[in-house]
Amino acid sequence: MLNKLDITYLPYVPFLLSAIFSLKSFRLKWPKHLQTFSIFLFVTLTLEFFGIAWKWRIYQWMGKSDENYWILNIAEIMGRIMLLWYFSQLLSSVRSKKIIERLIPFYLTFCLINYFFIQKPTAINSYSIGLGSLLVIFFCVCYFIELLHIKEAIKVYQLPEFWIATGTFIYYLCTLTFIAGFEFLARNDAFNHIMTIFMNINDVMMIFMYTLYLIAYLCRPHPKLQYKPS
């Protein structure tokens, strides 16, 4: 049976594979949004590995605390900003594009204020993560709605964007409840036990999400850059 160490780092297997396979989006000149998502994978993967390395060794070299929340917060915030930018390139709706372009600087400003002055770098920035998750979920739904209005008959399971949106939507939706109630749960006497259960569930959900990302880059993009809803 897998021990805790194996389970904790198992999600990085499909994560790393999806990032590697996503590189072909540049070599084969895939649509820009799929290249943006590839960059998202590598940026978040690099920050995650840095967070792991910090806790293992780097903090000793720097003479700092081994707490790596300040790195993980940056990874979560950067990831959500890049996902919003991905959807701004993917969605056909001009209104959605403009909304996202206006939301990104607002969200970034909110995250910076929260990071430095409210929840601080040394604690989980649940406000920023929760708001970003809610925005990403909303634009996943917008994408699914656009799929329903495509004029031509297509097999959605052959679309890389479908697998990306599905994995993102399910993972963010499942974790949003915990993030939204994090401040309340942190004051609960059983918080450590609840946190352990959540992390186990989170590891399984991450494996699911990154596996769908890997499937996405094993597909081929639709010949049209964007799908024109009716």
Q: Is 72 exposed, middle or buried (0-12, 13-18, 19+ CB in 10 A)?
A: buried
Mean pLDDT of 62-88: 89
Structural domain includes residue 122: yes
95 burial class (0-12, 13-18, 19+ CB within 10 angstroms)?
exposed
Q: Is residue 229 part of a domain?
A: no
In sequence order, the β-bridge partners of residue 229 are 150
Give the tens place of pLDDT for each residue, 40-70. 999 999 999 998 888 776 665 554 666 889 9
Structural domain contains residue 6: no
Q: Is residue 80 part of a domain?
A: yes
pLDDT at 230: 38
Q: What is the mean pLDDT of residues 156-184?
A: 92
Residues 6+ apart with CB under 8 A from 19: 38, 41, 42, 45
Contacts 24+ apart (CB under 8 A), 46-49: 47/71, 47/72, 47/74, 47/75, 47/78, 48/12, 48/15, 48/72, 48/75
Please compute the mean of the pLDDT values over residues 131-143 and round it to a whole number.
Answer: 97
Cα separation, 3 vs 103, whole angstroms: 42
The pLDDT score that the predictor gives to residue 59 is 61
Does residue 224 lie in a domain region?
no
pLDDT in tens, 109-123: 999 999 999 999 999
> What angle in degrees, to the nearest 10, is found between the helix axes of 94-113 and 69-90?
170
Answer for the pair 100, 88: CB distance below 8 angstroms, yes or no.
Answer: yes
- Judge whether residue 98 has pLDDT over 90: yes
If one counts the domains in the chain, the total is 1
Q: CA 111, CA 47: separation in Å to the nearest integer?
A: 17
Residue 7 located in a structural domain: no
230 is a domain residue:
no
Query: In Å, how far are 86, 129, 212 from 19, measured between CA atoms?
Result: 15, 22, 12
What confidence category does residue 6 fall into, taking pLDDT thresholds of 50, 70 and 90?
Answer: low
pTM equals 0.91
| Mean pLDDT confidence for 145-150 | 90
Mean pLDDT of 162-168: 98
Number of residues that make up the chain:
230
Residues 128-141 have a mean pLDDT of: 97
Q: Is residue 228 part of a domain?
A: no
Residue with tokens 């409210």: 118
Count Cβ atoms below 10 Å from residue 162 Cβ, excluding itself.
21
Give the domain extent around 127.
12-216
In whole angstroms, give the CA distance from residue 15 to residue 40: 11
pLDDT of amino acid 198: 85
Token output for 168: 């993102």
Residue 23: per-residue pLDDT: 97
